[in-house]
Every structure is written in C-alpha cells, then in structure tokens.
Structure 1
Amino acid sequence: MHPMLKPALRRAWRDRQTVQFGVSPARAVVVSPVDTATGSFLELLDGTRGLPLLYEEARALDLSPGQVDALVERLTEAGVVDDPTGGGPAAQELRGRAAAFDRTRSDLASLSLVHPEPGEGARRLAARRSLKVQVRGAGRVGATIASVLAASGVGRVEVLDGGTVRPWDVAPGGLPERAVGERRGPAARQLVRGAAPDRPPRAGEADGPTGLSLIVVAPRDGLDVHAPDPVTGGEWVAAGIPHLYAGVVETTGLVGPLVLPGGTGCAGCLALERAERDPGWPRMLAQWRSGRRQSAVPPCDLALATAVAGLAAGHALAFLDGDLPASTGTRWEASLPSLGWRPRRLAPRLDCPCGAGGKSEGEHTSGSARSQDTMAR
C-alpha cells in the first residue's frame, strides 16, 4: 500500500490541532487532535511512498512505526486515504493506458469519495469496462445518455433506434449537426466511439453474466416512458435484465423507475395501478398511441432533455457501480418552468406477473445490489 491523502478532498486547518478534509457536508471529515509532528507527517502521504519508506522518514519526526500504523489506520477509517496502486489487476491495467486513464481521472476522484476504501474507486472505475449497456432511443435524451455512459468508461454502449437524424434531434453532448440526414443507428454508434476514452473491449470481454448489465429506455416519444409498454417490460423482467426509463413528455421530464426484475414494480405494475385509479386511462392511452393529432415535431425542451439525460446517466452509473440510486422503484418528475424534481414511488402489484408484489420491502432490492456489486468485482 502507498497511502495518499485523497486529492479530491480539500484540506484546511480549523485550528492548531484540528484538520478538516472536504468542503461539502456530504463528504467533510474532521480529524483531531493533530499535533505538530502528525501535521508534518501528513505531507508525506502523497502516494509515492510505501509503508517501509514512511517508517524511515517518520523517524525524523520522532514517530515510531507503531504510531505511523495507527495514524494511517485512523485516517483510512475516516475515509481520507487512498492507495494509487490499489484496486486490483483491472485497475492497474487501466492506469497503464495513460490516455484513457487521464480522460477518467475526474470520475476516479469522485468515485474515491463515494467509495472511501483505499483503491476502491479505481476498482469500480475499471469494472465499468466489463459492462454492457443498451440505450433504446437516439433522440435528445437517449443519445446524450449514451455518450455520457461511454465517456464514463462503460465498456460497451449499444444504441438502438431507427429512421434518420432530424434537425431537432441535435443536442450538445448528443448527436451533432453534421449527423442530420444520417441513419440514427450508425450516427449514434459514431457518437459513442468518439465519446469513449478508449477503444471498446474485445468481444466477450464486456458481456457480463447475462449479456446486458442494464437497458436504458429513452425513446424519442416520451409517451413510451410516461406509459411504458408492459409487454416489452415483461420480457426484460422474464430475462432478468434491469432497465431504467428516461424521457420527456410535453414539458415534463421523467427519470425512472429503475426496474429490478422480481424486486421492484415494473411497467405492468404501473399499467395496473393507473387503470385501477383511472378507468378511462386505457382508452385514452390507446388513442394517444394511435398517432392521431400527433404533432410532427414533439415538444422536447433542450435544457429539460439535458437535465433528464444527466440525471438518468448518473442513476445508471450508480447502479452499474453496485449501488441503488433514488430511481429504484421510483419515478422522478420535473416540469417546466419550475423544474422541481419530485418522486413518485411505484409499488409492486400482487396481481402483476412480475412477482415483485409478494416480496417484503427491500428484500429483493438489497439482493440485486449485492448481485450487481459482485458482477462489478
């Protein structure tokens, strides 16, 4: 181990014996008491020295090896120490690809705070390369999600969509203006290749135990996110594939739910709940899906679409990294002009064949998190 104070945490002295690591309340850690010798020793924790060399240099500060071990352990438990050589073989291999590693250093800095164990941020960043995500939709929302996932180190990002790129599909971070008139599928693949920090892994290297780690459903028609198809969703549930919905319908942005097969409410649960609450809903939905009176250019505010894409990509990455984001079994909605995000929980239904309705609260979501974390390892 080569102990290093996490560069992502700004350091400041609150007083002569108290050091604060971090600025925001979410990550700030206060360490006290810190005497003069200990304060000087902190400067040695820059990741360039292993413990034997630290023992040697600490003697000049009248610190014994036992004191060094105790201090490093104390700082490690506080979550402020990283190991720039840790994270396992995949992390070491990532460091060896200098250009790709430099592209993701900001992501690594963030992950080192979210997962405070030494080397854990590097391990999780490297694990993204072995994952495969399918994004269904290459409009303003879907294409941006795909490019963010690829740029964040996800090994294979596949985008499915038909037709040609239209001028109103263009978005910063998404499809560029030069793609107008091209087929959406090839244009999206080129976008993903350009966003990725490195070449895609070899075939079979990013297939995971079930092929797909996650499907992100981000169709250009936001109605298919507001009222997702229970049949298609049921196929993913039966196949055990987690899937996340994201899109814009009229002036409302939607992120979620993240469906964990057998653990959270699904598209079928949502359809049953709406039909029970509003008997007229299925009739109206059938009319909307028929295409009558549909505008040639659907409303999709650029700022709202970008916000939805960013939040959805963040939730997808959190799940891929082994955590359960706030969209797990929950839909988040925000409407123009106020853009205040509000959650709507999707409760599993006993009368839905997905099987989630018979489980206790959190029973399968915790199990899915453990499974996903194991896959990332």
Structure 2
Amino acid sequence: MHPMVKPALRQAWRDLRSVQFGVTAAHAVVMGPVDTATGSLLSLFDGTRGLPRLREEARAIGLPDGHVDALLERLGEAGLVDDVTGGGPAALALRKRKEAYDRLRPDLASLSVVHAEPGGGAARLAARGAMRVQVRGAGRVGAALAAVLSASGVGRVDVLDGGRVEPWDVTPGGLPAEAVGERRAVSAQQLVLRSAPGSGRRAARRPDGVPPQRPPLSLVIVAPRDGFPAYAPDPLAAEGWMATGTPHLYTGVVEASAVVGPLVLPGGSACAGCLALGRAELDPVWPRMAAQWRTPHRREANPGPCDLGLATAVAGMAASHALSFLDGALPASTGARWEVSLPLLEWRSRRIPAHPDCPCGAAGQNRGECLSGPGAPHDTMAGAAAPAEQFRTAAAARQLGIGGAHV
C-alpha cells in the first residue's frame, strides 16, 4: 500500500491544531487535534512511499512506533486516504494505458471523493471498462449522452436509432455537422468511438479469430428524439427488459420540458406500467390520449421543440445518474422522475410509487420498505466517531457548512 491523503479535497488549517479537508458541505471533514509532528507526517502521505518507509520517517521525526498505523486508521475511517496502487488488477491495467488513464484522471479524482475506501475510486473506474450500455436514440439528447458515457470510461456504448442525420441533430458534443445525411446509428457509433479514452480501443479478437462475446447489458437508456416515449413510456416496449431483469432509465425532452427517470430496477422499483397506472388513476382519460399520441402519423419536416441548452443539460444529468448506478449506487432517479421546464429551469423531483396492480411485482417487493439510495445524501467522507473533546466544535462547523465528520 502507498497511502495518500486524497488530493481531490483541498486542505486548510482552521487553527494551529485542526485541519479541514474539503470545501463543500457534502464532503468536508475537520481533523483535530493535530500536533506539529503529526502535521509533518501528514505531508508525507503523498503516495510516493510505502508503509515501511513511512514508519522509518516517522521515527526519524520523533514519533513513536505505531503512530503511522494509528494515523492511517484514523484517516481511513474518515474516508480521507487513498491507495495509489489500489483498485485491483483491472485498475493496474488501466494505469498502464497512459493515454486513457490521463483522460480519466478527473473522473478518478471525483470517484475518490465519493467512495471512501482506499482504491475504491480506481476500482470503480476500471470496472466501467467491462460494462455495456445501450442508448436508444441518437438525437440531441441521446447522442451527447452516449458520448459522455463513452468518454467516462464505459467500455461499450451501443446506440440504436433509425433514419439519417438531419441538420437539427447536430450539437456540440453530439453529432457533428459533417454527419448530416449519414445513417444516425452509424454516425452515433463513430461519435462514441471518437469520445472513448485511449483512442476508442475495441476488445481484441480471441486467438482463434472469433470476435469476443459481447458483455451482458448493464443498463438501457431510453432517450428518443421525440421525448414523448420517455415522458410517457409504453409498458409494452419495456416487456423484454422487465423479463430479463435489465435496468433501464428514461430521459428526453418534450415540448420544452425535460425528464430524467425513472430508473427502473425490474421487480424492485416502479416501472413504466406503474407510471401508466398511476397516471390513469389521476386522469382517467390519460390512456386514451396517450394511445393517440403514440399512434404513428405523418409528421411535418420541421423538428419538435428541443432547446439546445436544455437538451445538453438533461444529457449531462442523465449521464451522471447512469454512471452513479453503474458505479454501484442508487441515484435519485430510482423510482422517481426529475423534471425541468423552460424558461424557469427549476428542477423538481416526483416519486413514482410501485403500483399494486402492476404485474412487475415491485409493490409487493417494497411494501414496508424504502429504497435507501434515491434522494438520500451519501455519507461519503463522514462516519468516523469523534472524541468527546471534539464534539464542542461540531455545531459551529455545521453552521459553517461542514457536512462531514470531525476526526
């Protein structure tokens, strides 16, 4: 192990005996009391030394045996220490791909803040490389979303759509102007490859020349060019994913309003059927109108309303929710929907309860329970027990916006 105080968190001395790690309320931690010698030892936790050398240098500055290990345990309990060699074999392989690793270093820094355990960020970043996500839709939202997922290290991003690229499909970070007239699916897949860190490497063929087997789908994201199927998803279209237990997330823009969610965990959280049944209870004529809006009909050549700024924002938010799920968390879109509309752009969340009449079974699964992930704050850098003498500063620290623990 080569321990390192997480560099993603800014450090500042609050006074002569206490150090604050982190600025934001979600992740700030105050450590104290810290004497001068321990402060000097902290500066050596930079990832360039293993534990034997750190113990030697601690003795050289007059610290007793066991001080390094005690300090390391204290930092670890607060989620402040990382291991530059941690994360397992996959993380080691990623570090050796220098071009890809350098591209992903900001993502790694972010993951190191969110996940407390040493090497946890590297392990999750490397794990993305073995995952496969399918994005259904290559319009202003879907294409940009697929590019972000690919650039974030997801190993395989498949984009499904029909037709050819229209001028209004072109966006910064999405389909380029030179793609107009090309098949949407092909252009979107080329965008995914260009966006991937490490020159968009594909998995190598097996020694017998047979292409490697595709990994199973980790997530399906429904991001149609016409956002209505994301706003009012058809339960029939999701039957295959429900049958195979494939998680899926709805997102899109319709009539200058954007949605992210729900993220559906088949049998565990509310699905498209639950959403439809709940809406019909509130508005009995909704099924009749939805059926009319879903019926194929001749459209005008002009595109529907989809503001570029709004489409970019919703693509980014949906990508963040998807990555959070792929990294092992339950984002706030699980069994819920986030909505925003022009011109006020005020995000609002609405829980979607599992419906007892829906055959998905989520209502029975969740009766008397609550999904812990969505909407709940993460105790990322907090959780260490504070000595009694430090509790007197806790209330003042909370007033200053320090949300983490005192250690």
Could you list the per-position Cα deviations for residues 253-278 of structure 1 after superposition, in whole angstroms to 9, with x for gaps in the alignment? 00000000001111111111222221
Distance verdict in 2 for CA 1:230–1:281, change over 3 Å: same
Match status 1:345 vs 2:347: no
Aligned to 2:334: 328
Aligned to 2:290: 285
Q: Which runs of 5+ in 1 are unaligned?
A: 368-377
Once the two structures are superposed, the pairs formed by residues 294-373 of structure 1 within 5 Å of their partners are: 294-295=299-300, 296-361=302-367, 365=371
Distance verdict in 2 for CA 1:361–1:93, change over 3 Å: farther
More helix by share: 1
**8 Å Cα contact 1:125/1:153 also seen in 2:** yes
**8 Å Cα contact 2:20/2:30 also seen in 1:** yes
- Aligned-partner SS, 1:175: coil
Aligned to 2:202: 200
1-structure distance, mates of 2:41, 2:213:
43
Once the two structures are overlaid, the 10-residue window that deviates more, 100-109 or 276-285, is 276-285
Alpha-carbon RMSD across the aligned residues, in angstroms, is 1.8
Output the amino acid matched with 2:143: A
Output the amino acid matched with 1:137: G
Distance verdict in 2 for CA 1:246–1:200, change over 3 Å: same
2-structure distance, mates of 1:329, 1:206:
29
- Aligned-partner SS, 1:338: coil
2-structure distance, mates of 1:326, 1:191:
28
Aligned to 2:80: 80
- Aligned-partner SS, 1:65: coil
Distance verdict in 2 for CA 1:105–1:204, change over 3 Å: same
Once the two structures are overlaid, the 10-residue window that deviates more, 136-145 or 198-207, is 198-207
Aligned to 1:128: 128
2-structure distance, mates of 1:24, 1:301:
31
Deviation at 1:64, TM superposition (A): 2.4
Once the two structures are superposed, the pairs formed by residues 1-377 of structure 1 within 5 Å of their partners are: 1-198=1-198, 199-202=201-204, 204=212, 207=215, 211-291=216-296, 294-295=299-300, 296-361=302-367, 365=371
Deviation at 1:59, TM superposition (A): 1.5
Output the amino acid matched with 1:345: R
Deviation at 1:204, TM superposition (A): 4.5
1-structure distance, mates of 2:144, 2:164:
17
Q: Which runs of 5+ in 2 are unaligned?
A: 205-210, 374-407
TM-score (norm 1): 0.93
Distance verdict in 2 for CA 1:7–1:264, change over 3 Å: same
Aligned length: 365
- Aligned-partner SS, 1:248: strand
Distance verdict in 2 for CA 1:133–1:363, change over 3 Å: farther
- Aligned-partner SS, 1:178: helix
2-structure distance, mates of 1:72, 1:270:
48
Aligned to 2:394: none
**8 Å Cα contact 2:268/2:366 also seen in 1:** no
2-structure distance, mates of 1:192, 1:306:
16
Deviation at 1:352, TM superposition (A): 1.1
